[in-house]
Amino acid sequence: MKKSLLLVLASLLVCCFSQANAQTADAHPLPPVLLIVREEIKPGMMPAHNRHSASFAGIFDKLKTPNHRIAMIPVAGNENEVLYVTAGESFAELEMMTKQTDKKMAGLNGTAGAELARLEKEASALHSGMRDMLAVYRPELSFKPGVDVAQMRYFAITTVRVRPGQEDNYSEYVRTVINVAREKAKAETHVAAYQVVAGMPGTTYMFFRPMKSLAEYDLRIGPRVREAMTDDQKKKADKMAGESVVVSETSIYAFNPGMSYLPKEFTARDAGFWSPAPEAVAKPKQKKRAPKPATTGAAQ
């Protein structure tokens, strides 16, 4: 089931980040593999799509399926794009989760089965395209990646396409130039690097930067990293980037709790955001009726 595959893998990303946060910030391995799903939404259909996606999350919650997901909506970038990210210890584990979830979903009947059929039928009217990508963790290209994702609100994701044959040059550029300058600048940033192995050209890299607030852009991290380089290092950086990078693009996505489906141990770390209490509906106040005047005798 396609929709199940799209959403199933986010569970492992959440779990792996959660386990990491029980340790010190940089003392743990990040998820070895990711499934990254980009859905293209038809113009004008984003509100309807988000309700549709939240309904799927509700079905998963009722069934207690093994899949969990962090769903994200655009803040800067393609305004008609939604992102789901999932991680696991291995691709075999992701496959097992997919099969288990599909089995539970296929067994739905009655009212829940009718709801699922309705949602699947509506999907074609909401989506204009979809891309699934599998990626592997590149720790040597990352920078202080360990954070508690439950406390974050955004992912700034930079997608880089590298020229074929220039992978080693690009790796050296990130490791020996960019990350060294980040250290020198005392950059208040965390970056987890992944390389796409299926779904896009194999020379595609994705860098995930979790953020609590967009105010982190006020820290001017990019310019400060550049300023931390010597003139020779700047020339080297420009040369290596020019030789190895075809294109680089950064988009920002906000976490969407309603469209996400997460384990309780994750949401409990920031329940006010991930599991907000429903707003109480104020009951309308009844107007007091004026007392009727007492009758003192026959009408005049």
Beta carbons within 8 Å of 247's beta carbon, 6+ residues apart: 160, 161
Q: Say how many domains are in the chain.
A: 1
pLDDT number for residue 15:
46
Kindly state whether residue 47 falls inside one of the protein's structural domains: yes
d(CA 137, CA 31) in angstroms, rounded, equals: 7
Kindly state whether residue 288 falls inside one of the protein's structural domains: no
CA 271 and chain centroid, separation: 17
Kindly state whether residue 218 falls inside one of the protein's structural domains: yes
The residue among 18 and 214 whose pLDDT is bigger is 214
**CATH code of the domain in which 136 resides:** 3.30.70.100
- Predicted TM-score (pTM) of this structure: 0.82
Residue 132 has pLDDT above 60, yes or no: yes
The boundaries of the domain holding residue 101 are 2-267
Tens-digit pLDDT profile for residues 32-75? 998 888 999 999 999 999 999 999 999 888 888 888 889 999 99
Helices 110-126, 46-63: crossing angle, 10 deg rounding: 150
Kindly state whether residue 244 falls inside one of the protein's structural domains: yes
Tens-digit pLDDT profile for residues 79-122? 999 999 877 889 998 888 888 888 998 988 888 899 999 999 99
Kindly state whether residue 183 falls inside one of the protein's structural domains: yes
Kindly state whether residue 294 falls inside one of the protein's structural domains: no
Kindly state whether residue 87 falls inside one of the protein's structural domains: yes
Most confident of 14-18, 192-196, 200-204: 192-196
Going through the chain in order, the beta strands assigned E by DSSP cover: 33-41, 70-76, 81-88, 127-137, 154-162, 192-198, 204-211, 245-255
pLDDT number for residue 276:
82
Q: Is 214 exposed, middle or buried (0-12, 13-18, 19+ CB in 10 A)?
A: middle
pLDDT number for residue 288:
59
Which run of H or of E encompasses 118? helix 110-126
The per-residue DSSP string of 56-77 comes to HHHHHHHHT-S--BEEEEEEES
Kindly state whether residue 280 falls inside one of the protein's structural domains: no
Name the 3-class secondary structure at 93: helix
